[in-house]
Structures are given as C-alpha cells and as structure tokens.
Amino acid sequence: MKRRTFLQLSGMTAAGTVLSGCQSGNEKLIPYLVPPDEGVTPGKADYYASSCRFCPAGCGILVRVSEGRAKKIEGNPAHPVNRGKLCAMGQAVLQELYHPDRVPQPLKRSGPRGSGAFTRISWEESLELLAGQLRALQREKATDRLALVTPQLNGTLVELTTRFMRVFGSPHHLSFDLLGPDWLRTATRRSFGQPGLPWYDVAETRYLLSFGADFVEHHLSPVQYGYAFGRMRQGRDTVRGHFTYVGGRMSLTGASADRWMPARPGSEGALALGMARLILAESLSDAGSLAVNGLQTEKLLRRLEAYDLPRVAEQTGLPQRIIAEVAREFATTRPALAMAGETVAFQSNGPDAVRAVQMLNLLVGNLNRPGGVYPDGGSRVGPENSFTELLSLVAAMRDGRFRVAMIHGDPVHAIPPATGFQEALARVPFIVSFSSLMDDTALQADLILPDHAALESWGDVIPLAGTRDRVIGLMQPVVTPLFDTRQFPDVLMAMADKLGGKTAAFPYQSYQEMLKGTMEKRVGRAARRDFETVWVELLRQGGLFETRQGQEKGYRRAPGSSLPNPAEPRFAGDEKRFPLHLLVYPSIAFYDGRGAPLPWLQQLPDPMTTVVWDSWVEINPRTAAEMGIGFGDLVEVTSPQGAMRLPAVIYPGIRPDMVAIPLGQGHRGMGRYARGRGSNPLVLLALITDGTETRPAWHATRVRLTRISEKGELVTAGHPQGSYRSELIEI
Amino acid sequence: MKISWLIAGLIFAAGVVVAGLALMYYLPLDMRDRSPLQPLAFSHKVHAGDNGIHCLFCHRYAPESPVAGIPAVADCRACHLFISPDAPEIKKLMLYWEKREPIPWVRVYSLPDHVYFPHMMHIRARLSCTVCHDEVAAMERVARSAELKMGWCLNCHRQHKASIDCWTCHK
Ligand code: SF4
C-alpha cells in the first residue's frame, strides 16, 4: 500500500469512528408489541421438570424458561437416575429447539429423490397424501406392504406404534438402534434366565473390572455410572475403589482406570475365562455362590481346561503375570464387579465373551449383593435381536415388497451400509420421514412430517438400566411450539382416524390424553381417585419415582445354561492385505450421530485427542512411525467394504495393531453445523455373520492405511506434541 | 511571509473546529448517555407529574420481577386511542403500531451482567422509586441521576441495614 493511500484510509477510518461515537452508548430497551399472556412475568424464570431422551439413559432435567423461552437445562436433583447431573448432550438439547435449520412445516418432495428440493404444504394436505397411500394399500388388501422404522422405543410409544401397525395389518415394525443393548439382553437371558438389563452397583464396589464398557462416555446410563464411579473412588472415607480396564483402545473410561489391559480385539472372552480358571484353581471363588447356582469347582475346572494361563496370555497378548495378578485381585477383593461393554460385544464371538464376563461375577458371588449386579428396574423386555429383523427387512425391501416406509430417526446415517439398507430403501416408492431436522433420511423422503423438538413434546421415558427402582420419567412441553410441527404419536393417531373404521383402536383424542390415561393406570389404586392433582404433581416432579428395593427376582444361573465358550474371533479382511483392526466407537458428543447438528457438541473438543469439528483416525505412534505418518497427515483407511480419507491423530493409548475412528460425523444433511463435516466410519464396516447366528460384529473389520499427504486439516484444542513422548503402551 | 502563512493556517484550523462544532450541534447526534434522546418525546412529567399516574401502572412488573418492565406498544395505544390522538408524537406512536414495530427506546439505567438487581425486593422493602430514579415525575426527558457505582449501592445498603454480602448482588 502506498503511504498516501494509507494516510487517506486512516483519515477516513478516524472520521468514521468519531461520528459513530456521537451517539449515546446505551443499549436499546425494546418493549413487547402486545403484552404476553397471563403467567409470563418478564425477567422472572419458571422451571419445568421434564426428561432427556437424547440417549436411552433417560435422565431427568429441569428447564429454565423465562419470557416463554427455554434458556437453560440442568439435571433434576430428584431424579433417581442422574440426581441433578447431566451430560453435554443433555445440556445441548436446547439447541435442537432453536436450530435454524428445523423443518418448519410439512414438506413434499418436488425434485428428484435426494436432491433436497421440497415444497411446503399444509398439514391437511400432507396427512391426506399419506392417508391416500395407506388407503390404497387397504383397498388392495396389501396392508403388509407398509414398513415402520423407529429407534428402540419405550413406554406409551411402543403401545401406540404396536397398536397402529396391528390395526393397520402390517407386521413390519423395525425398532433398531446401532447401539441398542440387544446383546446384553440375550447374554443375560442365557446366563440368568432374565431378559432385563443388569444394573451395576458401581458406587459400592471395591474392585471394578470393565471389559470394554465405556460407562463414563455412553455405556447404558453414563451420567448415573459416572456419578457412581466418583462415589466409588471418593465417596468413602477409607476405601478408594480400584478400577481395571480391558480393551485395545484407551477411552475416557479407560483413562480413568488404575490399570489398563490392552487385550487383543476378540480375545476378551478368553481372558475372562482364563481369569475364571485361575480363580477356581486357586480356590479363590465364592463357594456359597457356586453352590446356590448349582456349579461344582471340579466340573468347571475340567470344562475350562483349555483356558490355561500361557494360552490365554498368548491369545490376548498380555503378560501372564499381569493376568494372574488381576484375577487374584478381583477374586480376593470383596465386593468386586465385572462389566462387559460394546467393544467386547460387537466381535464375532461377542455373545459368549459377554457371558464369560458375567460368569466372573457369579464366581466371586456378587450377584444381587451391594457392590454387585442386580436386575435393573426399567423395562423387563426389549428386542433381543433387532439386527436379524433389520436384515430381513432389508431383504424384503430389496425384493420390492414395500410400497410405503414410515421412518422416525435417521437410519440412513446410523445403519452401516454393509447391511444394504440404504440401497434397499431407495426401492421403496413412498418414504415418509418424521425428522424435525433435514437429516440424511429426510433428504431421501417423499414426504416429511416434522416432529416437535424434545422441549415441545409430551412423552414418557423409561430409563434404560439406570436404576433398580421403577422410574417413569415424564416429558412435558416447556415452550409453545415454535413452528407448525406435530408430534409423531399425534400424527399416527390422526392417521388412524383418517383411515376410519378402526378409530375404536385409539380411544384417546390426543397423545397427551393417552399419556395421562396410561399414567393413571400406572399409579396405585388409591392415587387414582384424585388423579388430576396427582397428574399435576407427577409433572411437577418430573415423573413417577418409586422406591421398592429387593422385591425383584434376583439373578441366578439359568438351569441348564451351558458354559460360555467364545470361539476364535473372525475378522473381515485377511491379515496380509488389511493388517490393522478397526474400532469404531461412539464419541462422547455425538453418540450414534444424533448430536452432530448441535453446535455446542461440535465445539466440544474430544476429551482424549482434543480434536474439534472433524473426524480423525487414531494411530499408535509406533505404527505411524513405521508408515511415516505424522500428526495431522491425511491418510486413507481402506477396509474390504470401503475407503475413506481422514486426518491422523497419533495416539499412544491404542494398540499398535489397531486404529480407531469416532462415530457420528459425516452427515449429508442434518443442518448447517453437521452437513459435510467429517466422515461416517460406518461405510468401512463389513458384515460378519455365521450360518447359525446373525449378530452385528462391527468391531471385526480389518483395515489398512495409506498416507496421502500432509494436509489433513486437523483442528485440535490442545498441544499434540506432548503425546509423542509418552510411553504408555508396553506390548 | 512565514508569519502570514502561520496566521492563515491558524485561522483555517480555527474555522475547521468551529465548523465541526456547528455540525455536531445541528446534526441529530446524541452523545448523552445519562439523558439520551428517545425515539418519541415521551414526557414523564406529563404522565407521572401532571396526570399523577403511578409508576407501577406502566412499570407493572417491578413488584414481582427483577426487571421493572416497560409498557407494550399495545398498552400505550390503548390509552391514546382516546387521549390526544392528534398530537404529533402520538401519531408517531400509532405509526409504530401500524408498522407492527416495537419502539426502540434507549435505555437510561443499566447495570453490567455481573450485578443482580431485583426490583421486587426493593419495592418489598418499601423503598420509594425516587431513591434511585430521582424525581422522574418532574422530568420532561428522563435523566439518570445516580452514578450506579458499587459504592453508591453499598452506602444505601449500609444505611438501610441490608445485606452487604458479595453474593447479595453478585451471583
Ligand atoms: S446420558 Fe443420555 S439421557 Fe442422560 S443427559 Fe446425557 S443424553 Fe440425556
């Protein structure tokens, strides 16, 4: 710049500043145009109790509302699951309400599928459109050509959807969650004869042994377990509970442990049985518990012969000394507790590995004891193998057996493409989405009937495995809906109404009424007389919380249940061409991807790597050095199923033969904050099934890495170099 | 020669200053933050003084909320549909209503975010509005009379034996 130009410019800027300074610096005081209704006092906040349903844990929340706007969410101190605490996702639910890219009213597709061209239509028109499609099915006696896809629901929603599908005459309701605890239900039923989920008394235990259960981040009920973990460590005067973590990647949970055992992926079940054998051989087991459960030490030992220490050490890649030490600590500290998590379960031998871990609990006699495992107080039943249902639905869709698909949630993003879901869905002629944001599924839809945001909704939430008590959390609208949206259950009811003749199936006028009716049935007889008052009280406190300890039938080995015998793990991709194991883990901010549209969660640095806004692949420093990969380089990850490019994070907290990618990014839609950010690692996952059982083995895919360039464009909040120097891993 | 240049320069500079001042005087620039120009020439003297309308008639949230609140445009209009509807300032008011725009009043009293000042507690303590706001009923245009510094608050709290714990105001 020339000196003269500079002087001219600075003169102009100075003049501008002087002029803009000639105004009083006071803020504006903007009045209402029309005063608000009764009940709104400007400047004064109201607090409403409701429930979080962002993840299945179902924590209780209190929402601060002033001038009719929701301002802040905190945990509900009276709620037995989270006791006033809340996770980042729960806090961010506020941003779902105010998201600038919400679908404001029903939309009809106006361009080719997937192009994102939609026109706004009225609710009458849109409902008539869907009713027309469904009526056509009824007329042709082809009602089973309707499919309903939802996440795993609970409470009145199950009742409603089941009834709707039954009355309409279609058996095809798929309730699938990528992270649904089906595996835990099956394992628990096979071990103990009960399909309910276990509740771990972490707070009271003295030795916690977690096999890949990341309970601080996402496993079952993270807020509850995080709180309990804090009490286990610091809540008692004389004891500080010990915690050992087993798993190939050090998660945030693993990082909180006293000891980390990076066992080879797929060998965790063998490790558990190896420990069991050692405990039995050294007579450290609980004789009483064995007797009650009808087991004999000698017989067990004979069955576990194969799991001798040298062999287990070789399988797991861990030193014999360490395995023996942990086994002895576990058996001699009472109470001690073993948990199994997703990292173990989603292997080809997952179900048996989980049962092997459950057997450890039995051996040290901590079933139904303080500091041990109890059946949880939540719903007794739930899907046990929704993955098989998913596969059969996909097969049917591929054959063109469906004419209409109604979809709640975002399965197009959250189901691994290896199942063929996305392609099969494209063959359904009419797709209805209930998403309130333009997500990947909504982009493929022909009709979008936007749901309310959570803070505008009614609902009941039965917490998943968060407490032993019977808890039914209630959701109530804390603000009047911002847009012309309707709740999914209300739309179903309206649809039933329109289809006519079957309205008797829905004796309620609205979902709110149904909820109230169901709650009336659930409270005791005495309370029912004056239910209006009870109802208001339930809403005020946030749900129905009952304490009833010890009445539940405890755990006992199911008669005739066989001993777990985890097979050799199998992997997709041969070892030569794909030398590394892939671990795809739910991030603390995005869960299975549903957190991605919320900017607060996008800005949350990952607790272990401090990466913000992006996806990345974690590589052990040794592996990276061998391949010449540096921090932040762009690498290509190739699996037998697909390939993707990601920046590399050199991470000492992972086995050298393993790489890990967080889940949740890589949306095509989902609003401006999620769109096109990062990548979705689900495209890498291969489908491993064997002839007899169909179980998802998402962690059994192998990959290889190729360095592409040094421009990975990684954004981190911390200084990465520190991690190069640490020597955390010694295998 | 040199002197004359200097004198000319000085005269020129003085002219510039005078012109600048004149400009500032005539242009509608408002540099007063204690008594700013308002979009409407609302007179507290007419309302609260001459007509004796009570403060809480318009600032109606003061007894129950931290903020006193200002009347909605609809409230102003409700009265002035009948009261001097032809005055030029009232016409301006009606124009705001017709355009469905709230009136951008300029705030006279404001406290930083780290200070919590609840109107309702002060009213419940039977303090008169004039203690902080002075004789508003005599003001054509509202002017801030108090400095709003911490010492000023503390003095009053001490005088009235109110709490001077930090948490009372800073929370
Ligand atoms: S753990 Fe789940 S239910 Fe609880 S606050 Fe977090 S997202 Fe909500």
> Between B71, B74, B104, which is nearest A30 by CB?
B104
* B63 lies in some domain: yes
Ligand 1 pocket test target in A89, A218, A592 with most atoms within 8 Å of CB: A89
CB A154 within 8 A of CB A177: no
* A66 lies in some domain: yes
Q: What is the pLDDT of residue A730?
A: 42
- Structural domain range at position A681: 580-728
A474-510 per-position pLDDT tens digit: 999 999 999 999 999 999 988 888 887 655 567 788 8
* A19 lies in some domain: no
Phi and psi based region of residue B116 (left: phi greater than 0; alpha: psi -120 to 50; beta: remaining): beta
Distance, CA of A430 to CA of A449 (rounded, Å): 13
Q: How confident is the model at residue A276 (pLDDT cuts 50, 70, 90)?
A: very high
- Collect all residues with Cβ–Cβ distance below 8 Å to A355 and sequence separation of at least 6: A187, A190, A191, A269, A564
Residues A317 and A395 in one domain: no
Residue A682 pLDDT > 90:
yes
- By residue count, chain B amounts to 171
Cβ of B29 within 8 Å of Cβ of A34? The answer is no
Cβ of A31 within 8 Å of Cβ of B70? The answer is yes
Quickly count: other Cβ atoms within 10 Å of residue B149's Cβ: 9
Q: How far is A49 from chain B (nearest CA, A)?
A: 22
Phi and psi based region of residue A582 (left: phi greater than 0; alpha: psi -120 to 50; beta: remaining): beta
**Ligand 1 atom with the shortest distance to the CA of A223:** 1
> Between B31, B61, B71, which is nearest A23 by CB?
B31
* A557 lies in some domain: no
User: Residues with beta carbon inside 6 Å of ligand 1?
Assistant: A 52, 54-55, 57-59, 82, 86-87, 89-90, 222-223
Q: How confident is the model at residue A731 (pLDDT cuts 50, 70, 90)?
A: very low
Q: Which residues from B are below 8 Å from A33, CB to CB?
A: 72-74, 97, 100-102
Cβ of A32 within 8 Å of Cβ of B102? The answer is yes
Chain B touched by A18 (CB under 8 Å) = no
* Percent of all residues in chain A with a pLDDT value above 90, rounded to a whole number: 50
**Boundary residue ending a domain (A341, A375, A409):** A375
> Between B24, B71, B105, which is nearest A28 by CB?
B105
Cβ of A26 within 8 Å of Cβ of B101? The answer is no
Residues A346 and A251 in one domain: yes
Residues A320 and A418 in one domain: no
Mean pLDDT, chain A, rounded, equals 87
Beta bridge partners of A69: A66
Chain A touched by B40 (CB under 8 Å) = no
Residues A363 and A446 in one domain: no
* B144 lies in some domain: yes
A652-677 per-position pLDDT tens digit: 999 999 999 999 999 998 989 999 88
CB A126 within 8 A of CB A103: no
* A74 lies in some domain: yes
Residue nearest atom 4 of ligand 1, based on CA coordinates: A59
Amino acid identity, position A355 = R
CATH of the domain at A304: 3.40.228.10
CB A165 within 8 A of CB A390: no
Domain count, chain B: 1
**A336 phi and psi angles, rounded to 5 deg:** -125, 155
Taking CA A101 as the corner, what is the angle to CA A100 and CA A107, rounded to the nearest 5 degrees? 135
Residues A459 and A476 in one domain: yes
Distance, CA of A707 to CA of A625 (rounded, Å): 12
* A569 lies in some domain: no
Domain count, chain A: 4
- Structural domain range at position B111: 44-70+105-168
User: Nearest to residue A692, comparing CAs of A319, A224, A349, A288?
Assistant: A349
Amino acid identity, position A170 = S
Q: How confident is the model at residue A113 (pLDDT cuts 50, 70, 90)?
A: confident
Residues A332 and A368 in one domain: yes
- Helix or strand or coil: residue A545? strand
Residues A603 and A723 in one domain: yes
Chain B touched by A23 (CB under 8 Å) = yes
Complex ipTM above 0.90?
no
- Collect all residues with Cβ–Cβ distance below 8 Å to A173 and sequence separation of at least 6: A147, A148, A149, A150, A161, A162, A165
The gap between the terminal CA atoms of chain B, to the nearest Å, is 69
> Between B30, B64, B69, which is nearest A23 by CB?
B30
DSSP string spanning A45-101? EEEEEEE--SSTT--EEEEEEETTEEEEEEE-TT-TTTTT---HHHHHHHHHHT-TT
Chain A touched by B19 (CB under 8 Å) = no
Chain A touched by B64 (CB under 8 Å) = yes
Distance, CA of A473 to CA of A50 (rounded, Å): 7
Distance, CA of A228 to CA of A656 (rounded, Å): 32
Beta bridge partners of A661: A584
Residues A344 and A475 in one domain: no
* B110 lies in some domain: yes
* A562 lies in some domain: no
B100-148 per-position pLDDT tens digit: 999 999 988 888 889 999 999 999 999 999 999 989 999 988 888 888 8
* A511 lies in some domain: no
Residues A337 and A440 in one domain: no
* B66 lies in some domain: yes
> Can you tell me the mean pLDDT for A161-166?
89
Chain B contacts in chain A segment 538-597 (CB below 8 A)? none
Q: What is the pLDDT of residue B21?
A: 74
Cβ of B107 within 8 Å of Cβ of A28? The answer is yes
Residues A370 and A387 in one domain: no
From ligand 1's centre to the CA of A40, what distance in Å? 29
pLDDT in tens, chain B (171 residues): 678 888 888 888 888 888 877 776 666 556 567 788 889 999 999 999 999 999 999 998 999 899 998 999 999 999 999 988 889 999 999 999 999 999 999 988 888 889 999 999 999 999 999 999 989 999 988 888 888 889 999 999 999 999 999 999 998
Q: What is the pLDDT of residue B119?
A: 94
Chain A touched by B72 (CB under 8 Å) = yes
Q: How far is B109 from chain A (nearest CA, A)?
A: 9
A133-147 per-position pLDDT tens digit: 999 988 888 888 999
pTM of full prediction above 0.90: no
* B94 lies in some domain: no
Residues A210 and A320 in one domain: yes
* B117 lies in some domain: yes
Q: What is the pLDDT of residue B32?
A: 66
From ligand 1's centre to the CA of A427, what distance in Å? 35
A304-334 per-position pLDDT tens digit: 888 989 999 999 999 999 999 999 999 999 8
**Boundary residue ending a domain (A327, A344, A375):** A375
Q: How confident is the model at residue A380 (pLDDT cuts 50, 70, 90)?
A: confident
Q: How far is B57 from chain A (nearest CA, A)?
A: 14
Residues A223 and A308 in one domain: yes
